[in-house]
């Protein structure tokens, strides 16, 4: 299923029921998230992974995206 | 912060279960993903008053998220070249803007390996922001340093921004995170489908 379908469906439902939904979405979101991450771990556990390579790749991606964002903001944004 | 421990525990528990057991959860993974995306959609749809708040903040409220999008994708592009990761995956990982709980599971539907890298890279972005934002604002204007946190500036790193950057940038940080939170669920699949 395309990911846009549940997202757009959710936005429409949320917008239509915006005055009726008083409860915060935090708890259902957290519960769904924890299950999802567990299942993701199960999928990942079945694949052979080089832990060091994974750590280095994650660190490089995180650092480069942060530095890239800072660079563009400093260069391109004027108040 | 305690939720972060739960997240990491879930991931480790799942990896152990996948590695050492033969448990089969069928389509539960996909079901939970679509459920989470649906809930995120409801949350975006029921948000009120964003348009009015945006007017108050002016063009900075759009320029900063735009900088984060361009800068993150440029950073992801360079990281892909450096690590020899296919461009499609590199850009998709960086398009998570720190939203690890979305990026990881979304990428994992296509590749478990890149799902884990997407999860960890974006989790690392959040952790690095928590560590380095207070240091960065000594050299960089505090409103521009918001971009470090990406989508997390509307929730997990917001208290940090408010504490170290001051209450005057709190709303800007929230809107910055909100705009990126609205963009990421569209941008990641778009990159994966187009490239």
What confidence score (pLDDT) does residue B41 get? 79
Instruction: Give the pLDDT confidence of B126-179 residue by residue, as tens digits.
Output: 888 888 888 899 999 999 999 999 998 887 788 778 878 877 788 888 889 989
Residues A44 and A62 in one domain: no
Dist. CA B63–CA B60, nearest whole Å? 5
Q: How many distinct structural domains can be found in chain A?
A: 2
In 3D space, the residue among B131, B141, B118, B125 whose CA is nearest the CA of residue B191 turns out to be B118
Which chain B residue is nearest to residue A19, measuring alpha carbons?
B46
Dist. CA B11–CA B162, nearest whole Å? 30
Q: How far is CA A76 from CA A26, A71, B107, B187, in A?
A: 35, 8, 30, 22
Dist. CA B79–CA A57, nearest whole Å? 8
Residues A61 and A41 in one domain: no
Q: What is the mean pLDDT of each run of 10 residues along chain A (79 residues)?
A: 75 85 80 81 73 87 95 84
A52-56, B89-93, B190-194: least confidently modelled range = A52-56
Dist. CA B22–CA B42, nearest whole Å? 35
Q: How far is CA A19 from CA A14, A16, B40, B48, B82, in A?
A: 9, 8, 17, 10, 49
Which one is predicted more confidently, A8 or B93? B93
Mean pLDDT to the nearest integer, B188-194: 90
Cβ separation of B44 and A10 shorter than 8 Å? yes
Average pLDDT of chain B to the nearest whole number: 86
Residues A5 and A19 in one domain: yes
Question: Which span out of A37-41, A68-72, B2-6, B38-42 was modeled with the highest average pLDDT?
Answer: A68-72
Residues A1 and A27 in one domain: yes
Residues A40 and A65 in one domain: no
What confidence score (pLDDT) does residue A28 get? 85
Cβ separation of A69 and B132 shorter than 8 Å? no
Residue of A4, A31, A42 to mutate, testing the B interface (most B Cβ within 10 Å of its Cβ): A42
Dist. CA A49–CA B113, nearest whole Å? 8
pLDDT for residue B85 is more than 90: yes
Per-residue pLDDT band for B118 (boundaries 50, 70, 90) equals: very high
Residues A39 and A2 in one domain: yes
Residues A56 and A73 in one domain: yes
Cβ separation of A64 and B79 shorter than 8 Å? yes
Share of chain B above pLDDT 90, in %: 37
Q: Using CB atoms, which residue from A25, A54, A77 is nearest to B43?
A: A25
pLDDT for residue B80 is more than 90: yes
CB B194 within 8 A of CB A16: no
ipTM of the modeled complex: 0.79
Residues A54 and A44 in one domain: no
Residues A7 and A19 in one domain: yes
Residue range(s) defining the domain that contains residue A70: 49-79
Residues A39 and A73 in one domain: no
DSSP per residue over B42-108, as a string? HHHHT--SHHHHHHHHTTHHHHHHHHHHHHHHHHHHHHHHHHT--HHHHHHHHTTTT-HHHHHHHHH
pLDDT for residue B50 is more than 60: no
What confidence score (pLDDT) does residue A69 get? 95
What confidence score (pLDDT) does residue B159 get? 74
Residues A57 and A44 in one domain: no
Cβ separation of B45 and A1 shorter than 8 Å? no
Q: How far is CA B71 from CA A48, B97, B114, in A?
A: 32, 10, 21
What confidence score (pLDDT) does residue A33 get? 77
What confidence score (pLDDT) does residue B38 get? 86
Per-residue pLDDT band for B52 (boundaries 50, 70, 90) equals: low
What confidence score (pLDDT) does residue B19 get? 84
Per-residue pLDDT band for B184 (boundaries 50, 70, 90) equals: very high
How far off is chain B from A50, nearest CA to CA, in Å?
Answer: 10
Residues A34 and A56 in one domain: no
What confidence score (pLDDT) does residue B1 get? 53
Q: Which residues of B touch A69 (CB under 8 A)?
A: 67-68, 71-72, 75, 147-148, 150
Q: Which residues of A touch B99 (CB under 8 A)?
A: none
Per-residue pLDDT band for B84 (boundaries 50, 70, 90) equals: very high
Structure token digits, residue A58: 């994650």
**Within 13 A of B22's CA, how many CA atoms are on the CB side?**
0
């Amino acid at each position: 299923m395309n990911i846009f379908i549940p997202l757009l469906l959710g936005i429409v439902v949320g917008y239509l029921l915006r005055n009726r939904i008083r409860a915060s979405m935090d708890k259902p979101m957290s519960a769904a998230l924890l299950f999802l991450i567990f299942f993701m771990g199960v999928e990942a556990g079945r694949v052979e992974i080089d832990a060091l390579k994974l750590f280095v790749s994650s660190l490089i991606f995180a650092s480069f995206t942060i530095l890239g964002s800072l660079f563009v903001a400093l260069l391109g944004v004027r108040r | 912060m305690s939720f972060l421990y739960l997240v990491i525990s879930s991931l480790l528990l799942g990896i152990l279960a996948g590695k050492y057991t033969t448990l089969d959860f069928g389509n539960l993974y996909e079901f939970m993903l679509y459920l989470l995306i649906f809930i995120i959609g409801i949350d975006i749809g029921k948000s009120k008053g964003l348009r009015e708040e945006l007017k108050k903040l002016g063009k900075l409220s759009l320029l900063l998220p735009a900088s984060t999008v361009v800068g993150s994708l440029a950073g992801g592009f360079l990281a892909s070249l450096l690590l020899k990761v296919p461009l499609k995956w590199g850009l998709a990982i960086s398009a998570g803007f720190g939203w690890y709980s979305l990026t990881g599971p979304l990428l994992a539907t296509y590749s478990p390996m890149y799902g884990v890298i997407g999860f960890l890279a974006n989790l690392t972005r959040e952790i690095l922001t928590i560590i380095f934002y207070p240091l960065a604002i000594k050299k960089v204007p505090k409103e521009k340093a918001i971009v470090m946190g990406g989508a997390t500036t509307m929730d997990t790193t917001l208290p940090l921004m408010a504490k170290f950057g001051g209450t005057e940038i709190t709303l800007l940080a929230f809107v910055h995170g909100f705009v990126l939170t609205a963009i990421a669920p569209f941008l990641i699949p778009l990159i994966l489908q187009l490239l």
